Amino acid sequence: MKYQLVAIDVDGTLLDEEHRLLEENKAALQMVLEKGGKVVLCSGRGYWALKDFIEQLGIRNAVITQNGSQITDYTGENILHEEMISVENCRKILEYCVKNGYHPLIYQKDNVYGDLQDRYLEIFERCMNQKVIYTEDIEQTYAQIPLGKILVLDEPKRILQIQNWMMEQFRGQLLAELAYDFSLEIGGSDKGKALKWLAGHYQIPRENILAIGDGENDKGMLQYAGFGVAMGSAMPGVKAVADAVTLSNNESGVAEAIRRYM
């Protein structure tokens, strides 16, 4: 095979718009595994929201979770590497959110907490297949530990406002990227940095890595990989940095990319 490792985003890439793992994609990735390649899921999800897909695909290597803030083995029991948001910065972000009427979701250990109660909560729970534990006071619920991810879901204009605040406040020290125009993912690292660390861990040169994604939070890994592929349904900025564009996630674009470029 031309590439030893396939790094692949999950929502909007591996899964279709109904968040299903299509059989064509599954077969293509299993072929990579059978030929000795590594398939690495690179997702904004936490480990437990990825576990079912890891098992379906038969993955036995590392998994990049929470947009790169945490890398675990395939069991989720062993953390291989992490770059978290410090307690001090978590407090700053939560204080800003509460003061300005945002309703952040915090990824704390294996659970997600928040006081979000609108259509965006429904979207999150349906797409992630994970229930948010409701809290009336997110600052009180926060356990004063470093976090891998804080997610803010809101109207696109308000998402841009908090993203601009993040950029001014932290000046690139933390991740603050769009998954969708209504979704800002805040983390201690990004997928590109995580993929670089994992390439060193496995001693795989970047030119032997193929990456596939669709969101702004995938740009780093597409740029790091030897060959980056954007989904046909990807954001324009993602297509602009990719080496190639495949079919959409509803057309098994992952399988098409593997057939064409592997």
Please write the tens of the pLDDT for every residue from 166-217.
999 998 889 898 888 899 999 999 999 999 999 999 999 999 999 999 998 9
Q: Which residues make up the CATH 3.30.1240.10 domain(s) of the chain?
A: 87-187
Per-chain mean pLDDT for the chain: 95
Measured on CA atoms in the order 113, 117, 118, 121, is the torsion positive or negative? positive
Give the residue-averaged pLDDT of 115-140.
Answer: 91
Q: 5: which 2 tokens?
A: 């490792």
- pLDDT at res. 61: 96
* 126-131 contact pairs (CB < 8 A, 24+): 126/19, 127/11, 127/19, 128/11, 128/45, 128/49, 129/19, 129/49, 129/52, 130/45, 130/46, 130/48, 130/49
- pLDDT at res. 22: 96
Confidence tier at 1 by pLDDT (50, 70, 90): confident
Q: What is the pTM of this model?
A: 0.91
Give the residue-averaged pLDDT of 54-82.
Answer: 96
Confidence tier at 96 by pLDDT (50, 70, 90): very high
Please tell me the CATH code under which domain 5-82+190-261 is placed: 3.40.50.1000
Q: Which residues make up the CATH 3.40.50.1000 domain(s) of the chain?
A: 5-82+190-261
H-only helix segments in the chain:
23-34, 51-57, 87-99, 119-128, 138-141, 156-170, 191-202, 219-224, 236-241, 253-261
Confidence tier at 99 by pLDDT (50, 70, 90): very high
Domain 87-187 in this protein, CATH class: alpha beta
**For residue 131, what is the DSSP state?**
P
Q: What is the pLDDT of residues 177-189, one digit of tens each?
A: 888 889 999 999 9
